[in-house]
Amino acid sequence: MQMYQQPMGVVTQIVKDSKSTQSDQFDNQVTQHEQFVRVRMANGKNIGRQVELVNTADSAQAITQILKVNDRIFLQKADNDVWQFSTMKRDQFWVPILILIIGSLVLMMGKAGRLTALSLLINVSLFVLVVYIDLRLPDGNIFWLFAGFALITSIITLGLVLGIRTKLMWTVMLTVITTSALAMFLANLVFNLTNSNGLHLELMEYITQLPKPLFYAMTLVGVLGAVMDEATDMIATLFALMQENPEISLSALVKAGRRVGQEIFGALTNVLFLIFIAEEIPMAILYLHNGNTWSFTYMQNMSLGMIQTLISAIAIVLTVPVGIGWVALLKYLGQRKGA
C-alpha cells in the first residue's frame, strides 16, 4: 500500500528557464518564469519513469511556485496525457519539525509532556471528527457543533494536564465555561443592539454555509484558547496560595487574584493581537502594493479578525473576576462545610 494516492515525483533537471519581467500600473515588478522541467516519478505504476512538464510561475510565488532540482512535487495528468505540476510536497519539512517539538516536549516535561502531547492528538482528532460531522449534516449548525467540541476538548485537556478529579481542574473548567459564555453573550448582545453594523460577514472567504454561525464558531474557539491559558495560570497560583496558607482571608485571596490577573492579561492580549497581525501582514501588503487605501485594506482583510481579537481580549479581562469569584465561592463553601 503506497502512502500517497496522488502521483509524486522528484525534479531531476531544469531543462530551460525562460524569464521575463512584468510590471503593473503601480510599478510592482515580478519576474515571470516558464520552466521546462524533467521529473522522475516516485510512486505508483510509473515509478522510476522520467516525464517532462512545463511550469509557469512568478517571483512573488504567492500562488505559483518556482521549481528547483531535488524538489519533491505532486503531479496530475491532464486529459491529453500531459503531466502537470500540482503542488509542492512539504511533509518532509514539517513532519521532522513536529517530531522534534513533540519529542522535546516529552523529554523535557516527562509525564506532563506526554499528557500534553496526548491531549493535542485527541483534540486534533476531535476537530477532524467535528468537521466531518458538519460536512455530513445537511442542515447542521456549526456553532453548536463547535460549542460541544469546545466543551469536550476543555474537559480532556484540563483533565489530562491537571487531573480529572482535582478541585483545581474543575475550578478552571467552571471559569473557562462561564467566561466563554459571558464573552459570547456580550458579543451577541452588542451585535444585536447595533444591528451588526460594521460586521461584514460577506468578507469571509471560502464559505459554503451561513457565515454568522461560522463566525461565532471561529470566535468561540479563539476565546476558549485564550481563557484556558489565563485561567489555568491564575487559578493554579491561587490554589498554591491557599495550600501554603489555609487561613488566608477572602479579601487577601481576591487581591492576590487581581494582581496575578493583571500581570497575565496585558501580555496575553498583546500576544493575541500580534498573532492576528502576523497572519494578516501578507494580504495587507498585497492590497497596499496594489494602490488600495489603508481603510479599504483594513476593511477587506482585518476587520473580522480585529473583532474576534477584541472579543477574546474581553474574555481575557473577564477571566480575572470570574476566576476569582469561583475560587472565593469554593473557599467559602469549604469553610462553611468545615464549620
231 and 298 share a domain? yes
pTM of the model as a whole: 0.77
230 and 297 share a domain? yes
The structural domain count of the chain equals: 2
Determine the pLDDT at residue 125: 93
154 and 53 share a domain? no
The count of residues in the chain is 339
Question: Can you read off the three cell numbers belonging to residue 151?
Answer: 466543551
Cα-Cα end-to-end distance for the chain: 68
Other C-beta atoms closer than 10 Å to the C-beta of 198 total: 11
Does the structure show a pLDDT above 90 at 160?
no
Q: Within a domain: residue 236?
A: yes
279 and 169 share a domain? yes
Helices (H) and strands (E) in the chain, counts: 8, 5
35 and 173 share a domain? no
Q: What is the mean pLDDT of residues 214-223?
A: 89
Q: Within a domain: residue 229?
A: yes
66 and 208 share a domain? no
pLDDT band with cut points at 50, 70 and 90 for residue 257: confident
- How far apart CA 310 and CA 332 sit, in angstroms, is 33
Determine the pLDDT at residue 140: 66
Determine the pLDDT at residue 152: 92
Q: Which of 54, 69, 88 is the last residue of a domain?
A: 88
Question: Which of 107-121, 241-255, 293-307, 313-327 reaches the highest mean pLDDT?
Answer: 313-327
193 and 77 share a domain? no
Q: What is the mean pLDDT of residues 222-242?
A: 88
- How far apart CA 204 and CA 302 sit, in angstroms, is 11
CA distances from 175 to 96, 106, 183, 206 (A): 37, 28, 12, 34
196 and 276 share a domain? yes
283 and 172 share a domain? yes
Does the structure show a pLDDT above 80 at 80?
no
Other C-beta atoms closer than 10 Å to the C-beta of 145 total: 18
149 and 82 share a domain? no
Q: What is the mean pLDDT of residues 189-203?
A: 82
Q: Within a domain: residue 105?
A: no
Domain that holds residue 25: 8-88
Does the structure show a pLDDT above 80 at 208?
no
